[in-house]
Structure 1
């Protein structure tokens, strides 16, 4: 039965790598390889580890990026773009905040000078 399993696994490997799956969705994963070969996953991960390693090596040799890897890269690119936008926004807000701080300091200084001066005060106007 082991030889038959190995033949089934190799045939499933060939089909998946060629993009013509019969029993699975065609994803290049061990779970889909097991499904395609009609064997349990643990058969690949425990009994036929050499075939599992061969499958991964053939995927790398083809230069194929699994869908999960491609999705992760897309999410990473989106996150990096969002991070850059947030950095730019942060820099703008810091500049605005520093401007406000200068205005507050200037007004505080002016108020302090008015209090020290000749007693001039701001007196509210009475309403008629």
Structure 2
């Protein structure tokens, strides 16, 4: 599908209206989507056919000391991601400390387990047989 012959002119007019704060067909956001809506052209007209106009739009936005909405969103996302990365780093440090404690506990329990196994396997030097039934008392004067 070939572009309309006045497509570039419509994009430039839409750019002027958005930058002037008087959009007619969009919400006036400083984005390519809003620019395409304002110019009543498909978005790919700016992202594929008229990259120079897209770049010109962003250059004009920056020249006015403003930041495109897409850049604002990305900057906010970067801040959130940095916060998440810091939280993850703290959690990772705690987990590493926990692992060291758990390794010490496992080593201690392994040593105790080995000691108990050695004690169980060792022959007993003294065996005492316990009576299974009590003996009747000896008559007076007799000892067993």
On whether the aligned pair clears a TM of 0.5, the verdict is: yes
Distance in 2 (CA, whole Å) between partners of 1:31 and 1:111 is 69
Mapped pair 1:69 → 2:68: no
Equivalent in the alignment of 2:107? 105
Equivalent in the alignment of 1:35? 37
Residues 120 and 106 from structure 1, CA distance in 2 versus in 1: closer, same or farther, beyond 3 angstroms? Answer: farther
Query: How far is the alpha carbon of 1:30 from its aligned partner?
Result: 3.8
- 2:30 partner SS: coil
Alignment RMSD: 3.5
TM-score of the pair, normalised by structure 2: 0.59
Distance in 2 (CA, whole Å) between partners of 1:17 and 1:78 is 29
Distance in 1 (CA, whole Å) between partners of 2:106 and 2:76 is 45
Is the 1:24–1:32 contact (alpha carbons within 8 Å) kept by the matching residues of 2? yes
Is the 1:114–1:120 contact (alpha carbons within 8 Å) kept by the matching residues of 2? no
Rg comparison, structure with higher value: 2
Q: CA offsets per residue over residues 87-110 of structure 1, 9 Å max, x none?
A: 211111111121111122122223
Distance in 2 (CA, whole Å) between partners of 1:39 and 1:27 is 16
TM-score of the pair, normalised by structure 1: 0.65
Query: How far is the alpha carbon of 1:31 from its aligned partner?
Result: 4.2
Equivalent in the alignment of 1:24? 26
Is the 2:31–2:69 contact (alpha carbons within 8 Å) kept by the matching residues of 1? no
Distance in 1 (CA, whole Å) between partners of 2:112 and 2:43 is 78
